[in-house]
Amino acid sequence: MTRPRILTGDTPTGRLHLGHLVGSLENRVRLQDDHECFFLIANVHAFTTRAERPDDIRRDTIEVVRDYLAVGIDPARSTLVLQSEIRAIPELTFLLAMLLPFQRVMRNPTLKAELADKQLEQHSFGFPLYTVGQCADILAFRAELVPVGEDQAATIEMCREVARRFEHVYGGSVFPIPEVLLGRVARLPGTDGVQKMSKSLGNAIFLSDTRAEIQRKMRGLYTGRQSATDPGDPDNALFQYARAFIADPERVRVLAERYARGDDIGDGEIKAEVAEAIDAVLAPMRERRAAYDGPRGEAAIIELLREHARRASAVADETLARVKAAMRLDLDAAPATAERRSSEAHLPAPPSSALAPR
Ligand code: TRP
């Protein structure tokens, strides 16, 4: 029986946080049983912004795998994909890049938001190219479902477009059109109470934070409320956390109601209760993470990545072979020219605009 395939992943720019958890990681853990899952560590993409810091990228790659294993991604059921080990991915990136108009890539809202957020004076050629690379990550595994946070949705849309265009131009039925799967919380604010949670903004609660760190960060959460009798906004960042992490919705409802009325309820008590709830979610992760601590843990992770890369490469290599066959780049099959010519005659002719920039 074949299970629907999933591919998603993370760029190793640091440890993963609660935003990643509610945006995508929870879905991954939940879907492992009835899907064939590939979880990719996009270490090549990390060079888009940190090309001169390869040691940091290596360290963060290991940290992301620790986070994956801690959160409950099970290496016995799911395949970890270290991007730099999969040779078919850069090759597919190059081929797909020919099917995407330059302006289309530059218009991608995910890319534009990232370029704006990072406030770079200039960016490498590789920065926009990474979005095409992301399409290749997904399509190399012929994934049907891509669990990501809302910020990535526009890139997945571009992936759908390029998959359709490939089929239109070359045929071959190589790629399913992948669907995006968003998390239960669209956008989790950071502890600044305003911007989305992000490591680079310094407003993140990490999956690897201790109980004391969680409490400290929650205490510092900005709400702007002055006293326990001020009517509060039950949709502020504090309550977005309460809704995301307090398990009992009835309890959240009661708190929100008292908060809105300013019914003698201080931010401090709610923060303490939310911190408790977050700690309860993260506590089992700490235990699982402990098994991969230190140099011995790192060695085990590297072994895992090596073994999984073999499995992953086999899948991606098969995709690439099918892609090349569809594109008539398969020199080995040259004797079949006559047959291929006749099949080409049956292909619908692509409109002449199919490749023109818009
Ligand atoms: N760009 C994604 C991020 O930074 C990581 C990523 C790379 C990815 N390749 C992917 C996500 C393929 C989903 C599918 O979060």
pLDDT tens readout for residues 12-22 = 999 999 999 99
> Cα separations (Å) of 295 from 39, 59, 152, 194, 353?
23, 12, 33, 38, 55
At residue 282, the 3 state secondary structure works out as helix
CA of 81 to the centre of ligand 1 (A): 12
Counting every residue written for the chain, the total comes to 358
Give counts: helices (H), strands (E), the chain: 15, 5
CA of 282 to the centre of ligand 1 (A): 23
> Cα separations (Å) of 164 from 97, 129, 158?
14, 19, 10
pLDDT tens digits, one per residue of 249-267 = 999 999 999 999 999 999 9
Asked whether residue 356 carries a pLDDT value surpassing 70, the answer given is no
| Distant-in-sequence, close-in-space partners of 261: CB < 8 Å, separation ≥ 6 | 231
CA of 257 to the centre of ligand 1 (A): 39
pLDDT of res. 200: 84
Q: Whose CA is nearest to atom 2 of ligand 1?
A: 10
By most ligand atoms within 8 Å of CB, the mutation choice from 5, 6, 10, 197 for ligand 1 is 10
By most ligand atoms within 8 Å of CB, the mutation choice from 93, 108, 137, 200 for ligand 1 is 137
- Name the band, by pLDDT with cuts 50, 70 and 90, for residue 205: very high
Residue 301 CA, distance from chain mean position: 20
pLDDT of res. 121: 82
CA distance 310 to 314: 6
Nearest-atom number in ligand 1 for the CA of 155 is: 1
pLDDT of res. 358: 42
Q: Whose CA is nearest to atom 8 of ligand 1?
A: 9
Instruction: List ligand 1's pocket residues with C-beta within 6 A.
Output: 7-11, 40, 42, 45, 134, 137-138, 146, 148, 152
Q: Whose CA is nearest to atom 14 of ligand 1?
A: 8
**How crowded is residue 159: how many other Cβ atoms within 10 Å of its Cβ?**
25
DSSP-derived secondary structure letter, 141: T
CA distance 222 to 189: 11
By most ligand atoms within 8 Å of CB, the mutation choice from 112, 148, 157 for ligand 1 is 148
At residue 40, the 3 state secondary structure works out as strand
pLDDT tens digits, one per residue of 218-230 = 999 999 999 999 9
Residue/partner pairs of 324-327 with CB below 8 Å, 24 or more apart: 325/172, 326/166, 326/170, 326/171, 326/172, 326/174, 327/95, 327/170
Residue that is written with structure tokens 């398969």 in the block? 330
CA distance 186 to 15: 20
Q: Strands 179-181, 145-147: parallel, antiparallel or unpaired by DSSP?
A: parallel
CA distance 19 to 21: 5
Kindly compute the dihedral angle of the four CA atoms of residues 37, 316, 321, 356, in this order, to the nearest 10 degrees.
90
| Distant-in-sequence, close-in-space partners of 58: CB < 8 Å, separation ≥ 6 | 43
pLDDT tens digits, one per residue of 111-160 = 999 999 888 888 999 999 999 999 999 999 999 999 999 999 999 999 99
Of the candidates 248, 267, 241, the residue with the CA atom closest to the CA atom of residue 187: 241
